[in-house]
Structure 1
Amino acid sequence: MKHHCSRLSYESTGYFSSIVTDYLAGASALRPFYAHQPDLEGIKNAIASRQDFFTPRHILVESLEEQYRSISMEEQVSSNIAALANENTFTIVTAHQPNIFTGPLYFIYKILHAIQLATSLSEQMPAYRFVPVYYMGSEDADLDELGQINIDGHPLQWDTSQTGAVGRMKVDKELIKLLDAIEGQTGVLPYGKELSALFRQSYVSGRTIQEATLHLVNGLFGRFGLVVLIPDQQKLKAAFTSVIEKELLEGFSHKVVQQSTTALGKTYKVQAAGREINLFYLINDRRERIEKEGGDFVVHALGLRFNQTEILEELKNHPERFSPNVILRGAFQETILPNIAFIGGGGELAYWLELKEVFAAIAIPFPVLVLRNSFLLMTAEQEQRMLQLELNHPSLFQKTEVILNQLVKKRTSRQLNLTKEIAQLSVLYEQMKQQAGTIDETLKPHVEALSVKALKRLNELEKKMLRAEKRKFEAEERQIQGLKKHLFPADSLQERVDNISGWYARYGNSWIDMLLKNSLPIESQFSIITIS
């Protein structure tokens, strides 16, 4: 698949928060909030700390084998699952909720990054084996976010009456309707039928969303050895009961996170610090908050009340009914997986930077934090239009208004700024102020006020001159708007809006291969790919 790739720093795009760009730059203000540097040396240190921690490998392997029992596994996947029983095997994890049909493109980018990093480390450190893992956040209950996709600018929404953990919801008639809509939109494209077949093999009526997502992700990435883990399993939750008990009895995580967010908040905008008990009660189609009232534990939405003895008995008999929220989810992940690196987006990294002391409080090793790869995908025609408009890749990330202003100033033959005149006027008013001051000092503020008013009017005139000249560039403005609409839908990064469907239907598996080829293992840069 012919293409070329160029790269930018994340900071230069203007789309990433200061906490992310400072982390990439190794800012000293963030150093207390993570354990290992995001580089090869940091990976080695993470391995060393991981080797001192007991990971329930046999339970993990048993759970995965049971999970994959009904799936046609690639040999690479089967081999990687078996290897997880070995003390010299470690995982590279990315995590995401089971968005229908994979949701936004960054779902794909995260997984490919995990595959690329695992491959790279296996080559550089042959004494160890590194397995890429997609950890499915199937207990998330935010259907508004997980139940919609956008294909080439056309939004599709799953309208279902089901509630609770999205992973436990089932494929119903409304979701099958979306399959028909996707096929109607992409079926005429070269690989549209292939995509629809994969979707239909995955989203079978009556199958849970987490099972459907397992089938789909395995179908897309099984050939690379990617292991998918659905953590919503009794065996796996049982391995985390000591932490759940500590949270129920002490509410330890909230206190620790509050300290971290207070410290981080002095410099950065921080995420929420969670709740007094960072656990949900998960049963059937409900996932509801557990709260403390006096000595009791209550789940108001379900009308449940437990005393301390009863809640601990419930935990012993039904660990699968206790679901960690975002504050404890990472600790659960790092308990059941022999993980040494976590790949996440900017928002994920920001909240992981709050969690180091939570891990320390329960003696779980903290992984290397790696910012996921980001891509902007362009066609050759779009790049040609960019060049015709005298733009380059960095300028594409600017607002439409800024791009147009720069273009007008570059192409017009008229002077559109009054910089010289404003400077001259400032000098003139300063002279008048001094002259008036020799007569009466109280006149100086009056002259100063006249100066401010005059300069303000000149600045307004300058803007009107630019607006007037811009009206002569309506064709260029439409072209810029069209380019931005496709590359930055809804003024957001393409990867946060577009779904895989349009791209896969046009280019097939070679599109995934191309993305993998251009995925950076541990270096951090924003990639722009032009597909010829």
Structure 2
Amino acid sequence: MDCKTQHLSYAETGFFGKLVLDYLNEDAQLKPFYGEFPSAAAIGDAIGRRKAVATNRALLVRALRHQYRSVPASDQVNAHLALLEKETTFTTVTAHQPNIFTGPLYFIYKILHAIQLAAQSKKLYPEYDFVPVYYMGSEDADLDELGHFFVDGQKRVWDTDQTGAVGRMKVDKALLELINGIEAQIGVLPYGSEIAHALRSCYQPGVSIQEATFAFVHFLFAGYGLIVVIPDNAELKSIAAGLFKDELQNGRSAAMVETTAAQLTAAGYKVQAHSREINLFYLTDQGRHRIERSGDRWNVVDTAHSFSQAEMIKEVDEHPERFSPNVILRPVFQEMILPNLLFVGGGGELAYWIQLKKIFEYYGVPYPLLVLRNSFLLINRKQAALVQKLGYRPLQLFQSPHDLKNDWIRVHSGQKLDVTAALDNIRHLYSNLKAQAAPVDGTLLQHITALETHTTKRITELGKKMLRAEKRNHQDAMNQVTKLKAQLFPLNNLQERIENFIPFYAQYGRALIDTLYQHSLGLEQEFVVLEAL
């Protein structure tokens, strides 16, 4: 697929916050919270740290092979599963909840970034092997966040009465009706039937959302050897039994996170995640509930479950799958089960990961290198032609519709709309008046200043009125700007945070995934504008 790209700094786009930008700039005050910034040399250091801590590879691969029995075999995946058994193999990981039908575009970008990092690491350290991993946060119970998606700007919502962990919810009639709606919307496109068939094959009635997401991600990325991990698994969670017991009995993580949060706040950063006294949930098919300690009893909120210390420890030993780490302990559990080096996450994820380094250190779990996920703006040929016609550069597109329209008018209007010269003349006039009045009566200066302020304000308002009038004179162009901005930045946000990938796949097929991979960056940290898909 022929495309041209332009790389922008994240700061230039205006869509990223202080913490992300400071992280990318390797700001000194942020460095203590994460250690090393990702680089070729840092990967080598991470390999050394990871080799010093044992990973239960046999258990990991056994659990993964069991999970992969449900999907078509892939030579690339099988090869990577075999590599994971070797002490010289490491992972590059991204994590995300099982949004229905993958949710926003960045779900795809994160995975491709992890795949690209594995390939880049192999080139840097050919004596080792690197396997890309998608870790599924299937125990998240926030259906409001995970149960909707946008297709060509239209919001579609899964209207189900199921509760609890979204990954354990089942594909029902309402979800199948969403697939029907998608197919009706994209069926006429070249690959619309292909992607609709894949959705139907993966999201079958009665299948859990985590199993359906597993199958769908496998369909999309098996050719790259991506390994999908569903951590909602008794065998995998048995690795963290010691962590769970310590958290239940001693609640160490809360104090460590609280200390770090205070330090981050003092340094001027907003705290992303908040700790509880016990950062574990109790997970069953009936729901995911907080665990609270009251004296010598551990109670599961909003349920009849209550445990003594001995009963709780026994429950961890016999049913580790019933204990679900929240945002504070999930990263630690993730890194306990995987021989990982690099973690790919969005700005919000980086913000809470840097709160957790003390917990990693306490439990002796190697802290990974944090990589801000890739960002793309996808511009199709029709949109690219309109961008060219309107005379915009890619960076300009990140401005507000108001500023975009003003830019167009300033370039294309034949009228003199700029009142800067007039304002300069006014400042000169009133400066002369002040010089003239000062020797006569100094109290007049305040009156002259007030007159100047009033006149400047009126002239500025006149300039804005002329600009608005000229916009009305070019209403067709202004409408085109409005339409273009709405397509590329839906809901005044980045495209990748709103739009789903399905209509793009329906138009371009698997070539979309391959093209995105070809233009995915690894350790380089820049925003990519991908034009003329």
Give the TM bin, normalised by the shorter chain. over 0.9
Question: Residue by residue, what CA displacement relative to the aligned partner does 1:290-346 show, whole Å, maximum 9, x if unpaired?
Answer: 123334322221133323333222222221111111111100100000000001111
Aligned to 1:244: 244
Question: Following the alignment from structure 1 to structure 2, what is the Cα–Cα distance between the partners of residues 493 and 145?
Answer: 17
Asked if the contact 1:279/1:324 (under 8 Å) is kept, the reply is yes
* TM superposition score normalised by structure 2: 0.96
Aligned match of 1:180: 180
Pair 1:116-2:116 in alignment = yes
The equivalent of 2:258 in structure 1 is 258
Match of 1:215 in 2: 215
Amino acid at match of 1:331: V
Q: Residue 40 of structure 1 aligns to which amino acid in structure 2?
A: A
2:509 maps to 1:518: no
CA contact (8 A) 1:4 1:531 kept: yes
- AA of the residue aligned to 1:253: S
Equivalent in the alignment of 1:15: 15
Give the aligned residue type for 1:410: V
> In structure 1, what is the equivalent of residue 106 of structure 2?
106
1:421 CA drift (Å): 2.4
SS across alignment from 2:351: helix
Cα distance in 2, alignment partners of residues 255 and 461 from structure 1: 59
Task: Identify the residue that residue 161 of structure 1 maps to in structure 2.
Answer: 161
Partner of 1:444 in structure 2? 445
Paired AA for residue 195 in structure 2: L
1:390 maps to amino acid: G
User: Aligned residue for 1:75?
Assistant: 75
Shift of 1:474: 0.9
Residue 436 of structure 1 and its aligned partner are, at CA, apart by 4.2
Contact 1:162 1:285 in 2 (8 A): no
- SS of 1:83's partner is helix
Q: CA deviation at 1:123?
A: 2.6
1:66 aligns with: 66
Structure 1: unaligned runs, 5 residues or longer: none
CA distance in structure 2 between the aligned counterparts of 1:508 and 1:290, rounded to whole angstroms:
46
CA contact (8 A) 2:384 2:532 kept: no
The one-letter code of the counterpart of 1:224 is Y
Give yes or no for contact 2:122–2:129 (8 Å, CA) kept in 1. Answer: yes
Separation of aligned partners in 2, 1:221 and 1:333: 21
Q: Deviations over 1:66-104 (max 9, x none)?
A: 111222220111121121111110000000111111111
Give the superposition deviation at 1:3: 2.1
Aligned-partner Cα distance in 2 for 1:4–1:102: 26
1:413-432 equivalence runs, <5 A: 413-432=414-433
- How far does residue 160 in structure 1 lie from its aligned partner after superposition? 0.8
Cα offset for 1:254? 1.8
Distance 1:31 1:300 in 2: 38
Cα distance in 2 for partners of 1:500, 1:448 equals 57
Matched, 1:197 2:197: yes
Deviations 1:259-300 (A, max 9, x none): 222222232222132222211111113001112333432222
**Distance of 2:315 and 2:450 partners within structure 1:** 74
Matches within 5 A, 1:346-357: 346-357=347-358
Distance 2:321 2:284 in 1: 8
Q: Specify the SS of the correspondent of 2:149.
A: strand
Q: State the SS of the aligned residue for 1:287.
A: strand
Q: CA deviation at 1:434?
A: 4.9
Q: CA RMSD in A?
A: 1.6
Tell me whether 1:302 sits opposite 2:303 in the alignment: yes
Q: Secondary structure at the residue paired with 1:215?
A: helix
Could you say what secondary structure the match of 1:290 adopts? strand
2:403 alignment partner in structure 1? 402
Distance 2:292 2:429 in 1: 70
Partner of 1:381: 382
Q: In the alignment, does 2:329 pair up with 1:320?
A: no
Gaps of 5+ in 2: none
2:127 partner SS: coil
Q: Give the Cα–Cα distance (whole angstroms) in 2 for the partners of residues 514 and 272 of structure 1.
A: 35
1:57 corresponds to:
57
Query: Where does residue 460 of structure 1 map in the other structure?
Result: 461
The answer on whether the counterparts of 1:8 and 1:525 sit within 8 Å (CA) in structure 2 is: yes
What is the identity, as a one-letter code, of the residue corresponding to 1:100?
Answer: I
The whole-number CA distance in structure 1 between the counterparts of 2:447 and 2:245 is: 72
Q: Deviations over 1:457-477 (max 9, x none)?
A: 222222222212221121111
The question of 1:89 aligning with 2:89 is answered: yes
- State how far apart, in whole Å, the 1-side matches of 2:239 and 2:150 are: 38
Aligned to 2:498: 497
Report the equivalent of 2:277: 276
| Identical columns (%) | 48
Quote the Cα distance in structure 1 between the aligned partners of 2:36 and 2:89. 19
Note if contact 1:168-1:285 (Cα within 8 Å) is conserved in structure 2.
Answer: no
- How far apart, in 1, do the equivalents of 2:101 and 2:476 lie? 37
Q: Within 2, Cα distance between the matches of 1:295 and 1:463?
A: 69
- Per the TM alignment, residue 118 of structure 1 is displaced from its structure 2 partner at its CA by 0.7
Aligned to 2:370: 369
Secondary structure in structure 2 of the residue aligned to 1:91: strand
1:480 aligns with 2:481: yes
Contact 2:343 2:371 in 1 (8 A): yes
CA-to-partner distance for each residue in 1:90-132, whole Å, 9 max, x for gaps?
A: 0000001111111111111111111111112123211110000
1:29-44 paired onto structure 2 within 5 Å: 29-44=29-44
Residue 267 of structure 1 aligns to a residue whose secondary structure is: coil
Secondary structure of the 1:416 match is: coil
Name whichever of 5-14 and 157-166 sits farther off. Answer: 5-14
Does the aligned pair in 1 maintain the 2:273–2:327 contact within 8 Å?
A: no
Please tell me whether the aligned partners of residues 36 and 45 of structure 1 are also in contact (alpha carbons under 8 angstroms).
no
Once the two structures are TM-superposed, the CA of residue 507 in structure 1 deviates from its matched residue by 1.2
Q: Letter of the aligned partner of 1:46 in structure 2? A: A
How far residue 134 of structure 1 moved from its aligned partner, in angstroms, is 0.4
Checking the alignment, whether the CA contact within 8 Å between 2:95 and 2:136 is kept in structure 1 is: yes
Amino acid at match of 1:470: K
Report the AA paired with residue 30 of structure 1: L
Distance (Å, rounded) in 1 between the aligned partners of 2:261 and 2:473: 51
State yes or no: 1:127 paired with 2:114: no
Aligned-residue offset at 1:212? 0.7
DSSP-derived class of the 2:70 partner? coil
Contact 1:151–1:501 (CA under 8 A) maintained in structure 2 = yes
Shift of 1:435: 4.6
Is the partner of 1:350 in helix, strand or coil?
A: helix
The amino acid that maps onto 1:249 is Q
AA matched with 1:325: N
Counterpart Cα distance in 1 of 2:425 and 2:187: 65
Structure 1 CA distance, aligned partners of 2:349 and 2:301? 29
SS of residue paired to 1:429:
helix
Separation in 2, partners of 1:269, 1:473: 43
1:326-365 → structure 2 map (5 Å cutoff): 326-365=327-366
**Which digits, 9 at most, give the CA deviation of each residue in 1:374-403, with x for residues without a partner?**
111111221111111110100011111001
Task: Check whether the contact 2:273–2:328 (CA below 8 A) recurs between aligned residues.
Answer: no
- Residue 452 of structure 1: how far off its partner (Å): 2.4
Q: TM-score, length-normalised on structure 1?
A: 0.96
Alpha-carbon separation, structure 2, partners of 1:2 and 1:110: 22
User: CA–CA distance in 2 between the matches of 1:414 and 1:275?
Assistant: 62
